[in-house]
Amino acid sequence: MIETGVTAPQFTLPDQDGHPVSLSDFAGKTVVLYFYPKADTPGCTVQACGVRDHLPNYAEAGAVVIGVSPDPVRAVKKFADKQSLDFTLLADEDHAVCEQYGVWAEKSMYGRKYWGALRATFVIGPDGVVAHVIPRVTPRTHDDEVLAVLEQLAAA
């Protein structure tokens, strides 16, 4: 997993509408880049709806939120529409960006091993440098944790 202090890897991925979005599109802005395992699953829904409900807080903190999952565009679109998610979700179907950020890992559930995206969040400063990493995110507390980090970074 990439660490604090490194330049965030650049990427371009399709959003929920199939339009290409690049990290460089947000140059000069603080970006909260969060990775989630799978659209429309219970934990990912709690996390995404939390972001949706806290968007005014993120805007007040001067941050843009982007969610990334290894789902195809159609699954990300369905998820965004179903949950009224009005922020950018990106489809990393070949998991190349997950691999760049070090969140593509072997996981285990009910004794079955498989590869998937870890739930992790990266706060990227306006200079494109990773300012903070939350390597293991809990969906219910994600927003409180990230907003506290943004407040600390603003105070520094």
pLDDT at 99: 96
In a domain, 6, yes or no: no
* Annotated catalytic residue within 13, 32, 33, 44: 44
In a domain, 5, yes or no: no
Percent of the chain whose pLDDT exceeds 70: 100
CATH number at residue 142: 3.40.30.10
Mean pLDDT (the chain) is 95
In a domain, 4, yes or no: no
In a domain, 1, yes or no: no
- What is the reported pTM? 0.94
At 55-101, the pLDDT tens digits run 999 999 999 999 999 999 999 999 999 999 999 999 999 999 999 99
pLDDT at 2: 95
In a domain, 129, yes or no: yes
In a domain, 82, yes or no: yes
At 21-45, the pLDDT tens digits run 999 999 999 999 999 999 999 999 9
Residue 49 annotated in active site: no
In a domain, 18, yes or no: yes
Which position has the higher pLDDT, 55 or 112?
55
Q: Could you list the residue range(s) of the whole structural domain that residue 114 is in?
A: 12-146
Provide long-range contacts, Cβ within 8 A and 24+ apart, for 127-134: 128/7, 128/8, 128/23, 128/27, 129/5, 129/6, 129/7, 129/8, 130/2, 130/3, 130/4, 130/5, 130/6, 130/7, 130/8, 131/4, 131/30, 132/4, 133/1, 133/2, 133/3, 133/4
Look at the chain and report how many structural domains it folds into: 1
In a domain, 35, yes or no: yes
